[in-house]
Structures are given as C-alpha cells and as structure tokens.
Amino acid sequence: MIDKLKRLIFPPRCAFCRVLLAENEKHVCAKCAQKPYALSRPKAYKGAFYKNALAAFVYEGEVRRALHRFKFHGGLHLAEFFAEKMAEKLQQTDWEFDLIVPVPSHFSKQYKKGYDHALLLAQHLSRLTGVPCKQLLKKTRRTKPMYGLRVSQRRANIMDSVACVQAVEPRYKRILLVDDIITTGCTLAECARVIRDAGAQEAYGITAAGIK
Ligand SMILES: [Zn+2]
C-alpha cells in the first residue's frame, strides 16, 4: 500500500534513460536492460595490496550520467540500484569476505555533498549480502581530486591520507572495500594497505563503475 502510494507520488524512472517505469520494472526499463552496459563484462582491476577488484559497470555513457545523478544531483535512490548490480557481480566471483568497509571520503567533501556515496553503497550491499558493514577507514588529510593526475601523482596524492580507526577484529580476516568509481586502483590499494596493517589478511574491492 505504501509502495503503491510512493509510486503514485514519486513515479520511478529508469536509472539510465529516465523514462517512467512500468509496474513490473525495477530501476531500469526493459529497453535499457537489453543494452550492453547492463551486461558489461567484469573487468579485473589488478593492484597492490588487494587481491582483486571489480566494477559493476563501465564508466561511460548512460552509466556515467546515472552515477553523476547519484553523486551530485540528489539521485540517492540510485544507491540501491548500483548496490544490487554490485551484489550481482559479486555473486559471479568466488570471493569470500567477512566485513564490508566503505572507502572514506574527506569530511569536508562529504559535508559539501551532504552525504557519503561509498558508505551508502556499502550499507545497501551489507543488507543485500548479509555481511556486516563498518566505517573502519577515515581520511586524515585532504587530497586533491584524482582527475587528470598521472598514476605516480595519484599514488603520491593518496599516500598516508587514510587511517584505520581501530584494529581489525580477528573475526574479520577478509575485507570487501566499496567505492563508487575505480580509475587506476590507487585509492583502493592505499585503503587495502592500511586495513591490512590494521590486522586484516585479505582485501577485495567492488565499485559501481570503473574506467575501461
Ligand atoms: Zn531506460
């Protein structure tokens, strides 16, 4: 009843093309569900300190626009959509993890944006997978936007900018790090390094989208 009312007041639109959804459609319209990006093959982002990382989508076209709506234009409901796709991607792997940890945004950036995207995705993923979620990592200093930086500059930019707020409990040996976008994997590698220093044994990464 409440869902029906919600649909009436806020008719759900396709995450990609924004058409109004039919009652049997969820998040994405039938037409967009057929498009290749919905089926985009997982690419593995190899990097130091983490075992493997995957993105649910390639960061381009409609996906890129949807992610921008999620991040900058109040498309909060899209967190659920992206998290579902990330969960589907995880199901295709043999990864095992005991704890979900969001990649931290700097508090001032969070404040400006109003909410923390990686945390939102991590919380939805936790609900979908039944694996607990903890905000174990925090930024310790401001970093420059990664956009346009070379890999060596990215590494220098992120180095020692993340800290673990407490030692990782022994029952959480394997950590799944969650972020919205993966580019070179530098941020993920730094988070994995820090969380392993704090006691975790393995780290994986999953993001909503990744640069091809
Ligand atoms: Zn559509």
Query: Average per-residue pLDDT in the chain?
Result: 88
**pLDDT tens per residue, range 84-137:** 999 999 999 999 999 999 999 865 555 555 678 999 999 999 999 999 999 999
Cα dist from 23 to 2, 3, 170, whole Å: 14, 11, 46
CA of 24 to the centre of ligand 1 (A): 13
Enumerate residues with CB within 5 Å of ligand 1 (an ion): 14, 16-17, 29, 32
CA distance linking residue 140 with residue 197, whole number of Å: 16
**pLDDT tens per residue, range 16-58:** 999 999 988 989 999 988 876 655 555 667 778 999 999 999 9
Backbone φ and ψ for 9, nearest 5 degrees, come out as -80, -45
- pLDDT of res. 184: 85
Percent of the chain at pLDDT exceeding 90:
58
CA of 204 to the centre of ligand 1 (A): 31
CA of 68 to the centre of ligand 1 (A): 16
CA of 37 to the centre of ligand 1 (A): 12
CA of 27 to the centre of ligand 1 (A): 9
Domains and CATH numbers, the chain: 1-34 (no CATH), 40-210 (3.40.50)
